[in-house]
Chain A
Amino acid sequence: MRTILVLVRKDFANFFANKAAVSLTFIVPFVLIWLFGAVFGVNRKDSGPTGIPLAVVNASTNPGAEKLIQALRAEKAFKVITQYKADDKTERPLREADLAALMRANEFRFAVVIPEDLFSEKQLGLHLKIYTNPRNEIETQLVNGILQKTIFSNVPQLLGQSLVARGRGVVGAENMARFNQATADNIARSFGGDSAQILKNIESGDFTGGLPAGGAGAGGDSLLSQVIRIESIQVAGQDVKSPAATRIVGGWAMQFLLFALSAAATGLFYERDQGIFHRIMAGPVSRAQIMWSKFTFGVCIGMLQLVTLFLAGRILYGIDVEHHIGFLLLICAFAAAACTAFGMLLAAVSPSPEAASGLATFSILLMSAIGGAWFPVTLMPEFIQQVSKFTLVYWAMEGFSQVLWANVTFLELLPTLGILSGMTALVMAIAVWRFNRGKIFG
């Protein structure tokens, strides 16, 4: 026991004397956690991108078009550009013909054209043209998403107009007028209000106004938002500020812990080649003590790293660490043990340190990706979702979110701990068996 303690202390001294190891274990994942949190707007009220240049060309005379532009201007994700600045500093409204050249010059990467036929009688819906010069897919998807959101949520009237126009196209203008008149009369009779005003609103596609307060349109809610009402209720994690933060912190921490512990296990090769094993095993130290000291060191450094990074997550993103510290330590210990076992296995099956680190890079990246350290497993194909359950990263991530997010009881956490310790035992058994047959102590 004392021997193991001395060896573990030695590993710690070695670890902290090695700047590369320390930064790989603590600093690099911290920076990544911070960066990724910033990019994905974890835990910011005003999340999302800002100021993406968006050119808008308005060729329509419909008053709804101007409303749409107002709405886009109000959206802080966009910086709306409607004017064209010529070389002689004169300005004029942008035209569709200007777009291609300006986009090629990278003045902006997205443009919306509101054509003359904003509404058509042949088709339901708005006719908008969106020009993109997709620098990257994520940005394009993001911009598309925000555009749709802006159009649908802020300008329901446009859709109403579209509806009316389409109706006119289907039943004929005369029938439509008669239908609208009858509808307006009916509404006025049933709910009160001025029939002429209601008719005007219906014809302009505005289904929200013209009704007396307290009626169906009360509260100024748009008709659309009444038709589709989504209420999202979070079952778990009511008190965590951001589940994404748990993933980002846990994911990067795990990945770099795996790297660090594989490197530590690969240190066995170094100690062998230097003859250090010969020196200490000629003395009173046994193989088993060397292995257990490495394992103990791995678990200690792993817990230290995971807890440190979750504390960083507490500071950066308000992850509730303090109320879960007991379970967090528990899951971190089990995750660290599994990572250590994995590192030892790598060293045990590799013929050389070079082979070990190559194998480590490949298997750690693969395991992190499919285990859900980078993005949620649920986004992956069914087959990979099944495979990911065989990775220790998956179960560690599962454990982190159980503890930090889902507020589980010990009993609920137990299966995850069980699976992690089962993996640890199995992997360690293989590693020890390989070590005893292999050359590391030869």
Chain B
Amino acid sequence: MLTLENVTKRYGTLTALDGVSLRIEAGEFFGLLGPNGAGKSTLMSLVAGLRAPDAGRLTLNGQPLSAANSAARAALGLVPQHIALYPKLSAEQNLRIFGQLYGLGGALLRDRINEGLEAMQLADRRRDRVETFSGGMQRRLNIIASLLHRPKLLLCDEPTVGVDPQSRNAIFEFLEKLNREGLTVIYSTHYMEEATRLCSRIGIIDHGKIPALGTLDELLLKLPFEEEIRFPRTEATTALVAKLGACGAVEPGDEHYRFRPQPGYKLSSFYQLTESLGLPARHFTSQRPTLEALFLHLTGRNLRE
């Protein structure tokens, strides 16, 4: 559906996007996971035709995407990172304006406004000014406003900043429902949990590059260790640590050790070892590695600075 080929974007001397290539298929829920300043919003603005790339090509369904190509952009909805609403106007007035700008009107627009407000649980506040809404409510309205014209591709730029867990869930469920109904979503975030829960495919973005791209499982496979085993720091485990040195890396924490086995190391041999030392199995918890760990591994930095 959407392809980016070697897309580069500079602001003066700063390279915000550095030769990004990407292919997103129809129906995907694609996550862009990266810290502040990684280039997420820049990528979104290029796809939305708000800025032109300095190099490379963007196409939507084979058609070049640009400011001039408004037909292609009609299939696109952007949920801006900011709450892009008129605070002095009511929720309904805001939605009507944005709907009318897309050429909607009459009963159709009314129905879609109602539908959106219902889905986001804002129907009873429809006549109130947006400035009287809580941050979470404004975020939800911000999303409805981008969906009135039923885009095929929705660009969500960090749509849940400052939203409480309940509202967040409402947003997730709404987006997941739309995705099931066929909407393609590109969702940028710096929350690992969001990417993990929502996205069918994730691109990790940092310093304008996408060093890793794939499903969650594919990404986690890129970590040189598959599991991490934690156990308490006791006298009994000291003997174990001495023997594990040859099989992987052991990191001492304050109260726990963390063991990351070498690639190819069989967990069964680990448990044979613990049994031979007479250590009970309940001491050991094995954890799946996380995107956070992957990000650290790829960039040497934490996702949240």
A117 at interface, CB cutoff 8 A: no
Tally of contacts, chain A with chain B, CB under 8 A? 78
Interface residue from A10, A17, A18, A274 paired with B97 (Cβ < 8 Å): A10
Interface residue from A10, A13, A278 paired with B45 (Cβ < 8 Å): A278
- The reply to whether B83 and A284 form a contact with Cβ atoms under 8 Å apart is no
B70 at interface, CB cutoff 8 A: yes
- The reply to whether B73 and A284 form a contact with Cβ atoms under 8 Å apart is yes
Q: Which residues of B contact A13 (CB under 8 A)?
A: 86, 89, 93, 97
Q: Which residues of B contact A2 (CB under 8 A)?
A: 100, 103
**Closest chain B residue to A19 by CB distance?**
B88
**Closest chain A residue to B129 by CB distance?**
A17
A32 at interface, CB cutoff 8 A: no
CB distance from B58 to the nearest CB of A (A): 13
Known: A14-B89, A278-B78. A283 touches B101 (CB 8 A): yes
Instruction: Provide the bound-state CA to CA distance between A372 and B101, in Å.
Output: 42
- The reply to whether A279 and B88 form a contact with Cβ atoms under 8 Å apart is no
- The reply to whether A10 and B76 form a contact with Cβ atoms under 8 Å apart is no
Known: A3-B101, A282-B48, A283-B149. A10 touches B74 (CB 8 A): no
Q: What is the interface residue range for chain B against chain A?
A: 20 to 34
Tell me whether chain B's interface is mostly helix, strand or loop, or mixed. loop
- The reply to whether B50 and A14 form a contact with Cβ atoms under 8 Å apart is no
A6 at interface, CB cutoff 8 A: yes
- The reply to whether B101 and A282 form a contact with Cβ atoms under 8 Å apart is no
**Closest chain B residue to A15 by CB distance?**
B88
Q: Which residues of B contact A14 (CB under 8 A)?
A: 86, 88-89
Instruction: Provide the bound-state CA to CA distance between A280 and B148, in Å.
Output: 13
B66 at interface, CB cutoff 8 A: no
Known: A13-B89, A14-B89. A274 touches B84 (CB 8 A): yes
| Contact residues, A276-291 vs B (CB, 8 A) | 276, 278-286
CB distance from B149 to the nearest CB of A (A): 7
Instruction: Provide the bound-state CA to CA distance between A299 and B186, in Å.
Output: 41
- The reply to whether B86 and A275 form a contact with Cβ atoms under 8 Å apart is no
B229 at interface, CB cutoff 8 A: no
CB distance from A219 to the nearest CB of B (A): 69
- Would you give the 0/1 interface string for B57-83, flagging 1 where the beta carbon is closer than 8 Å to chain A? 000000000010010011011101111
B146 at interface, CB cutoff 8 A: yes
Q: Which residues of B come within 8 Å of A, CB atoms?
A: 45, 48-50, 67, 70, 73-74, 76-78, 80-86, 88-89, 93, 97-98, 100-103, 129, 145-146, 149, 155
Q: Which residues of A come within 8 Å of B, CB atoms?
A: 2-3, 6-7, 9-10, 13-14, 17-18, 273-276, 278-286
